Structure 1
Amino acid sequence: MLLPGGRKRGDGTLTDRREHNRIDAEIHRTDTSNDPFAAAVRATRMPMIITDPYQPDNPIIFVNAAFSRLTGYSHDEIIGRNCRFLQGPETNRDDVAKIRDAIARRVTIEIDVRNHKKNGELFWNRVLISPVFDIDGNLTYFFASQFDVTIQREHLHTLSTALKDREHMLDALLRSSAEVRYRMSADWARMLQLSDGKFLADTTSETSEWVERYIPAETRQGLQAEIDRALHTQTTFHLEHQVYRADGSIGWMSSRAVPVLNDLGVVVEWYGAGSDITERKQAEAASLNRSISLEHQIADRTAELRLYGDIIQSSAAPICAFDNEYRLIAFNRAHSDEFYRIFGCRVQLGEVFPDLFPPDQAPIMRGFMARALEGEAYTVTEEFGDPNLIKPYWEVSYSPLRDEGGRIIGAFHYAKDISDRLRAEKELAQTQEALRQAQKMEAVGQLTGGLAHDFNNLLAGISGSLELMQTRMQQGRFKDVERYMAAAQGASKRAAALTHRLLAFSRRQTLDPKPTNVNRLVAGMQEMVQRTVGPAISIEVVGATGIWPTLVDPSQLENALLNLCINARDAMADGGRITVETANKWMDERSARQHDMPEGQYLALSVTDTGTGMPPEVIARVFEPFYTTKPIGEGTGLGLSMIYGFAQQSGGQVRIYSEVGQGTTVTIYLPRHHGEVEDEEASKTKAALPRSEQNETVLVVDDEPTVRMLITDILEDLGYTAIEAGDSAAGLKVLQSDVRIDLLVTDVGLPGGMNGRQMADAARIARPHLKVLFITGYAENALLGNGRLDPGMAVLTKPFAMNDMAARIRSIIESGKQQARWS
């Protein structure tokens, strides 16, 4: 069982319990600044605590500053106490029981509880308590975040009270209304309730034959179409339709119903109201009869008026037509009703349509209509309506009307209320964003969990080896020191490799790109790859003739190729064949879009195996850090993620093609380099660099004392004079003095107000030929000018071998001497 900081619990023996108590005490007084999880909890602005379920009463063992600010208690007043110290008489005991039950069952719970602060102030605390398990599935500790939701709760209470008052008022209005009110089942199959015996012929409730009872046959088809639309979209039902009146005659009703949803968003019934519009419909019919000759004239003159049947017939979509003077020459019932709904007045034939809009909207509408009268057919989205009534968003389409000679005599105006659609799109976007954030947090959790596991293993090997080295040296037993030293060095190298893989995945590693012949690189690695994969697997190399060079870091490409071959080997437990192939690829626009990369010329390096292959769900995740299908202990899950990051940082891409049982092909695409490749034999010939004999001086600037000590020792071994500085301010002070400085060795990330690059640039104002060697824990490319260094500057990535550092220092200083001789 891992404790914060990587410690393990034992099996419960007396000795183990003593050790457990000692470790717990150590946790309380140990600086957790190096614990990445504790650092994350400390840095966040959300109040958070960590509790230890293995101590009596589940005490708090870690708390961040935000929690202290929320509750008013200091760090020392919180540590060691159970969370219930925030509870009081006002805390609901049922809520407390729920929390205890969740902790006992080791499950996550989110709940609002009534708590009090140190000053006695009551507040609503939204608590999220979650168990944290180690890689073996054992409980490590409980993590709890807090959030003050007092204002939200009070606001919700106020809204609830206002809603009840509004419901009472609405009920009173409905009781005094002359409208017909009704309730329908969720599928509209049954009428659940009908009130008003003066208008309709029958007021019987709970009937499944309401259509035949209330609706004339000629209206039923249009009614059913609107019902189907409302059911499908779960939006408002709205229709003007014929209905049997109480006296047996047929009248007209304007009917509107809204869906009633439960907490899960499921429609449970429909609530509606209807108004008698018989007199209005009779007046409109008379008006339409007067304009029927004009309607026929328009219908005969343009094929576009095939849509005009929708104007005359009942339609859920508002449609109208207007002439060259912007006057209405026709409109359907939906248009008249919608205009009344959003503006509170009825339209009439012959009215100038734009003048019916409010002053701020009339010019917009006139401009739209003018474009149609000029012959343009188009669609726009706009918000129209009376701010005091309703102001929905409309999708409005226009098309001109022409006579037999092609002259424009008017235009169509077709409107569609898209408010619900826009609202749904906005809600969908918000949901998608929340999902993306949740996925990000899940990825961060996987990354930190896997990183902590791997680093704790490596640190255990390093610290254990150093401890045994110290013990053996104190005992005078030097025989095993070399073995422990080799173990510590091996673990440290694996830790360095792990950080390089992480940096490769995040595209922040330091690369040393060079023009590279990939055929030559693959041929040089063939023997090593064959030894690595073993004799049961054959290696076939297919190098394309006339292969293009590419600008890439050769060592990183070799590492990527070796990783791919190892993955291929692991997929062929019973042996098989690995084919390493190079090719020149031209990516046109279509191919580049399929591969998610810019179009152009690329060098392709492919590794194909005859192994088990991968299903699509595995292929979708193979580039995720720490994702692996191998058993625990047989893979870190960083191989392919490192290759992905390396390819991206090199300006290329990596793609996988695989079928279950058919094998896998992984292809790295690297941009073509238009230039020459350095001769391999010439690059290997390097002159031996002598020790310093001219009292050269090197300034070492690093905020880590151990690093400064090691570099200073290297310099003294080479015969150089070393000057040390712990931050950029002290380093710049030396550089701006008259002291001789032949080389500046500096970390990139420095305290003191400047980073290493800024300090070097400032120093070069007075010392324009100053040689600079940057050393960095990771590639701060932005600080280093995105990898583009000025002449006389170089970079070396931590951790580095001491011999590599010595060779780099000597080569930089000696190259400076050569340039001085030729200048």
Structure 2
Amino acid sequence: MSGFEWLAGGGETGALLRGIDWSKTPLGPVQDWPLSLRAAVRIVLSSEFPMMLHWGPELTTIYNDAYAPSLGHKHPGNLGRPAREWWSEMWDQLTPIFDKVLSGGTFHVENARYTPDRDGVRREAYFTHCHSPLWDDEGQIAGIFLVVTETTRQVVAERDLTQANADLAQQVGVSRASEARLGALVRASSEILYSMNADWTEMRQLTGGGFFADTGTANPHWIEDYIPEKEQSCVRAAIAEAIRSRSVFSLEHQVRLADGGVGWTQSRAVPLFGPDGGITEWFGTASDVTARREIEEARQRLNEVLEKQVAERTAELTLYRNIVQSTRFPICAYDTEQRVIAFNRAHAAEWFRVMGYPARPGELLPDAFPPDQAAVQRAFAARALAGEEFTAEGDFGNPDLTVLHWELDYSPIRNEAGVIIGAFHHARDVTSRLKAEADLLQAQDALRQSQKMEAVGQLTGGVAHDFNNLLTVIRSSVDLLKRPGLPEERRDRYVAAISDTVERAAKLTSQLLAFARRQALKPEVFAACDSVRMLDSVLGTLTGPRIRIVTELPETPCFVNVDPSQFDTALVNMAVNARDAMDGEGQLTIRVEAREGLPSVRLHPTVPGAFVAVSLIDTGSGIPPGQLERIFEPFFTTKAQGKGTGLGLSQVFGFAKQSGGEIAVESRVGEGTTFTLYLPRAAAAEVRLKDAGEPAPLVDGHGTCVLVVEDNTNVGTFTTQALAELGYRTVLAASAEEALTELARDADRFDVVFSDVVMPGMSGIELGQRIRQEHHDLPVVLTSGYSHVLAQNGTYGFDLLQKPYSIEQLSRVLRKVAVWRQGKRSSVR
């Protein structure tokens, strides 16, 4: 071996290397190998980390014992052979890497995916590896040095966990039983989860988290498997009482641990009830309180011994050490001067891990920490020496090593006379637990965001479908209108089709805004009973002669403060829904009554206050339980294609929410459904008189001058041209700032300002408020397709014309405000 010491060692792989006849390989005889190759081989063989090198034109491969297990059946037969023969099945993946390194670069990647053949079959595998160039004795790149770690298990485990989380997310909300299960788990506040059948004779599932042995199958012998014999009678008695009282099971008792030992748990389970009121299942949690019990027992033993041995200081110190050493959890005792007098091996190990030096008896405990942490520790110790028992949390440790988050239990030590002679604390590293909780919150946030995006996609698809249908009618009609020689009858028909389709599109937009609680409401105080009476004939026409309408109205009028037109629309939508559910035959009961408080609906808590409840009760087919939570979704409908858009109940939902109320539904399949609309109740004294009738549309403008403020050039141009045809004089301003300039030049020439709400810079509402301040009697009419300001705060007293508007509607509104201004000026004169 003389002269070849650099090839010594290396375990099994080193022996194999020494047995190869290298003269028959591209590398040639070993004694001719360059010093650079020998040094690299020596590094590989002496390392306990997986390493490999490729050398020479053929990239002949040499590796160590640590690398060999990842090669499967390729070891040891391919040792000393060219790399291309090694990895022929994935050579296309490796070639770019090798080319880069042989050109002088380096390559590092984490969790890279490959499909090596290690057992006769190509299988997916993941590696974190770094490739670096190797230089020969002349300074030329002659090989590649590889350090690698296989991460297949980690990547697959993380991927499986991600898939498991995704599968779990898809199951959320599937059924009422799932919601009850989730609610039960939340109420149980868990670390370890389990489920039992109704009489506890069978454990259905246990997720032990390493505390208990997990089980995913039914276990009728769970008491014998998990509960020590001396505890079984106590557990059975507690179970019997919980079943008898149909209440929460709660008990702290001993259990057999997954590692074969015996610990303590705080077990709590809640019953789930079926439709008949009987218990169907129990869901519960079991918390590991072993540490707390051991600490309590240690504390009890410590106090008992201290009561007997307070005469001498030496005896006290001996007791401290004995008691502290009796627990396997980190524990430290200190005297009234906050000097360490005892600690166990667990405390010593944790101290060395985070501080970097051994724990020392007699040391002032706070002074052992960095200055910013010492003040906190001193305050904690002082509280315990003052007689307080408490638990605290904080970040402690040497910043140069590791700072962890700790949960610390403090309690005083008293002698038999009750005098405090010291204190101790028990430390628990909860860093990983907090990280897991943070990861869970992040996963939940991601799930909620995914659900939001799914809902947005569903809504967008429904809107696109309906608007494409409407646009098809409009475009087809426009194309037909372009045909030459079109008869007047057909021209009128196509124009009417366009007008009707625009009305339907506007209604669809209004329904979507209502569901989103973004419509501009005009609340008024009116009697709900009176509105129901006035709608009686309309509802009778809608539902047909075979449906009997019964109204149950109280003697009191039941005033509400909401938008009256939206209120009527909501009743009509619910009545039409009831008509379809009854297939045109049955009884529809409309009941109005005053209620105190808003009940809990869809997991929302009850809300105090005065409300009016308007209920529509039908005798129809009812709603299956699986669809109850979806009936208010936009575009969700159980009707046949073309029989409904699924927006009627969505409008009711949005109107109720935006008005400060709620919509509740109760249904039994085959018996009927009750929809109850809750709206805030108002005092009768707040009733306001309604406006007088509106003027007729399309009257001659008589030269009325209108300042049109519209940032959209097409809309502004069309509006001014249309008004000009009706006899109005117009001035177009492209922004609120431009409009103010026109008013500053000569405001008296204008009879009315007609402004869009949503514009860059100053909004139409802000413009209207400026005009009120500077030109008191100049009326302002606003127009908007949607504005969140209008939806939240109303119109601020301005007349509002919703987009899309017709010329008839525009003329009607302008004529109304012009007449108002003329009347006001006449009264002044």
TM-score tier by shorter-chain length is 0.5 to 0.7
Q: Which of 648, 652, 660 is residue 657 of structure 2 equivalent to?
A: 648
- Could you say if the C-alpha distance between residues 808 and 430 of structure 1 is closer, same or farther in structure 2, counting changes exceeding 3 Å? same
CA drift of 1:425 comes to 0.7
Name the CA distance, whole Å, in 2 between partners of 1:159 and 1:388: 31
CA drift of 1:449 comes to 1.2
Q: Which of 510, 513, 516 is residue 506 of structure 1 equivalent to?
A: 516
Q: How does 1:580-729 map to 2 (within 5 A)?
A: 580-587=590-597, 595-596=604-605, 598-676=607-685, 678=687, 683=691, 696-704=704-712, 707-708=715-716, 711-712=719-720, 715=723, 720-729=728-737
- Could you say if the C-alpha distance between residues 788 and 722 of structure 1 is closer, same or farther in structure 2, counting changes exceeding 3 Å? closer
- Could you say if the C-alpha distance between residues 749 and 557 of structure 1 is closer, same or farther in structure 2, counting changes exceeding 3 Å? same
**In the alignment, what sits opposite 1:804?**
809
**In the alignment, what sits opposite 2:384?**
372
CA drift of 1:504 comes to 1.2
SS at match of 1:421: helix
Q: Which of 740, 753, 757 is residue 748 of structure 1 equivalent to?
A: 757
Answer yes or no: is 1:414 the counterpart of 2:414: no
- Could you say if the C-alpha distance between residues 574 and 555 of structure 1 is closer, same or farther in structure 2, counting changes exceeding 3 Å? closer
Answer whether contact 1:689 1:811 (CA < 8 A) is retained: no
**In the alignment, what sits opposite 2:553?**
543
- Could you say if the C-alpha distance between residues 346 and 685 of structure 1 is closer, same or farther in structure 2, counting changes exceeding 3 Å? same
Name the CA distance, whole Å, in 2 between partners of 1:523 and 1:565: 14
CA drift of 1:487 comes to 2.1
CA drift of 1:372 comes to 1.9
CA drift of 1:797 comes to 0.8
Answer yes or no: is 1:787 the counterpart of 2:794: yes
- Could you say if the C-alpha distance between residues 477 and 818 of structure 1 is closer, same or farther in structure 2, counting changes exceeding 3 Å? closer
Q: Which of 357, 363, 368 is residue 369 of structure 2 equivalent to?
A: 357
Q: How does 1:150-229 map to 2 (within 5 A)?
A: 225=257, 227=259
SS at match of 2:746: coil
Name the CA distance, whole Å, in 2 between partners of 1:415 and 1:628: 58
- Could you say if the C-alpha distance between residues 810 and 187 of structure 1 is closer, same or farther in structure 2, counting changes exceeding 3 Å? closer
Name the CA distance, whole Å, in 2 between partners of 1:690 and 1:568: 39
CA drift of 1:461 comes to 1.0
Q: Deviations over 1:557-597 (max 9, x none)?
A: 11111111222222223733322222222227x85996457
CA drift of 1:699 comes to 1.0
Name the CA distance, whole Å, in 1 between partners of 2:721 and 2:456: 40
CA drift of 1:421 comes to 0.9
Q: Deviations over 1:6-39 (max 9, x none)?
A: xxxxxxxxxxxxxxxxxxxxxxxxxxxxxxxxxx
Q: Which of 569, 572, 579 is residue 569 of structure 1 equivalent to?
A: 579
Supply the AA of the counterpart residue of 2:794: G
Q: Which of 521, 535, 541 is residue 531 of structure 2 equivalent to?
A: 521
SS at match of 1:732: helix
Name the CA distance, whole Å, in 2 between partners of 1:432 and 1:407: 50
CA drift of 1:704 comes to 4.3
SS at match of 1:604: strand
Supply the AA of the counterpart residue of 1:600: G
Q: Which of 732, 738, 743 is residue 735 of structure 1 equivalent to?
A: 743
Q: Which of 324, 328, 334 is residue 322 of structure 1 equivalent to?
A: 334
**In the alignment, what sits opposite 1:382?**
394
- Could you say if the C-alpha distance between residues 308 and 461 of structure 1 is closer, same or farther in structure 2, counting changes exceeding 3 Å? farther
Q: Which of 349, 353, 363 is residue 337 of structure 1 equivalent to?
A: 349
**In the alignment, what sits opposite 1:773?**
781
Answer whether contact 1:549 1:677 (CA < 8 A) is retained: no
Answer whether contact 2:620 2:670 (CA < 8 A) is retained: yes
**In the alignment, what sits opposite 1:61?**
none
CA drift of 1:454 comes to 0.4
Name the CA distance, whole Å, in 2 between partners of 1:388 and 1:372: 29
Answer whether contact 2:331 2:424 (CA < 8 A) is retained: yes
Q: Deviations over 1:696-745 (max 9, x none)?
A: 42211224456446644665576543223344444333222115112100
**In the alignment, what sits opposite 1:255?**
none
Q: Deviations over 1:375-420 (max 9, x none)?
A: 3332221111223433221111223334455443333412222111
Name the CA distance, whole Å, in 2 between partners of 1:342 and 1:693: 86
Supply the AA of the counterpart residue of 1:621: R
Name the CA distance, whole Å, in 2 between partners of 1:444 and 1:466: 32
Name the CA distance, whole Å, in 1 between partners of 2:347 and 2:557: 69
**In the alignment, what sits opposite 2:441?**
429
Which deviates the most, 690-699 or 625-634?
Answer: 690-699
**In the alignment, what sits opposite 1:558?**
568
What is the total number of aligned residue pairs between the two structures?
Answer: 557
Q: Deviations over 1:191-224 (max 9, x none)?
A: xxxxxxxxxxxxxxxxxxxxxxxxxxxxxxx998
CA drift of 1:313 comes to 6.4
Answer whether contact 1:311 1:320 (CA < 8 A) is retained: no
Name the CA distance, whole Å, in 2 between partners of 1:309 and 1:434: 50
Name the CA distance, whole Å, in 1 between partners of 2:658 and 2:564: 14
CA drift of 1:649 comes to 1.8
**In the alignment, what sits opposite 1:814?**
819
Answer yes or no: is 1:468 the counterpart of 2:500: no
Supply the AA of the counterpart residue of 2:660: G
- Could you say if the C-alpha distance between residues 320 and 546 of structure 1 is closer, same or farther in structure 2, counting changes exceeding 3 Å? farther
Supply the AA of the counterpart residue of 1:324: T
SS at match of 2:809: helix
Supply the AA of the counterpart residue of 1:544: P
Answer yes or no: is 1:496 the counterpart of 2:506: yes
Answer whether contact 1:592 1:599 (CA < 8 A) is retained: no
Q: TM-score, normalised by structure 1?
A: 0.60
Answer whether contact 1:396 1:413 (CA < 8 A) is retained: yes
**In the alignment, what sits opposite 2:177?**
none
Answer yes or no: is 1:459 the counterpart of 2:471: yes
- Could you say if the C-alpha distance between residues 785 and 389 of structure 1 is closer, same or farther in structure 2, counting changes exceeding 3 Å? closer
Q: How does 1:121-140 map to 2 (within 5 A)?
A: none
Name the CA distance, whole Å, in 2 between partners of 1:229 and 1:728: 79
Answer yes or no: is 1:579 the counterpart of 2:620: no
Q: Deviations over 1:485-544 (max 9, x none)?
A: 322222111111111111112222122211121111111112222221223332222223
SS at match of 2:813: helix
RMSD: 4.4
Supply the AA of the counterpart residue of 2:472: A
Name the CA distance, whole Å, in 1 between partners of 2:702 and 2:466: 47
Query: Between the two proteins, what is the percent identity of the paired residues?
Result: 40
CA drift of 1:776 comes to 0.7
Answer whether contact 1:623 1:644 (CA < 8 A) is retained: yes
Supply the AA of the counterpart residue of 1:789: Y
Q: How does 1:243-392 map to 2 (within 5 A)?
A: 296-298=305-307, 311-312=323-324, 314-392=326-404
CA drift of 1:329 comes to 4.3
In structure 1, runs of 5+ residues without a counterpart are: 1-92, 99-112, 114-122, 125-154, 169-185, 190-221, 234-291, 302-306
In structure 2, runs of 5+ residues without a counterpart are: 1-87, 98-106, 109-126, 134-144, 151-208, 213-253, 266-300, 311-318
Answer whether contact 1:311 1:331 (CA < 8 A) is retained: no
**In the alignment, what sits opposite 1:65?**
none
SS at match of 1:321: strand
SS at match of 1:669: strand
- Could you say if the C-alpha distance between residues 457 and 223 of structure 1 is closer, same or farther in structure 2, counting changes exceeding 3 Å? closer
SS at match of 1:724: strand
Name the CA distance, whole Å, in 2 between partners of 1:746 and 1:309: 85
Name the CA distance, whole Å, in 2 between partners of 1:543 and 1:332: 78
CA drift of 1:777 comes to 1.3
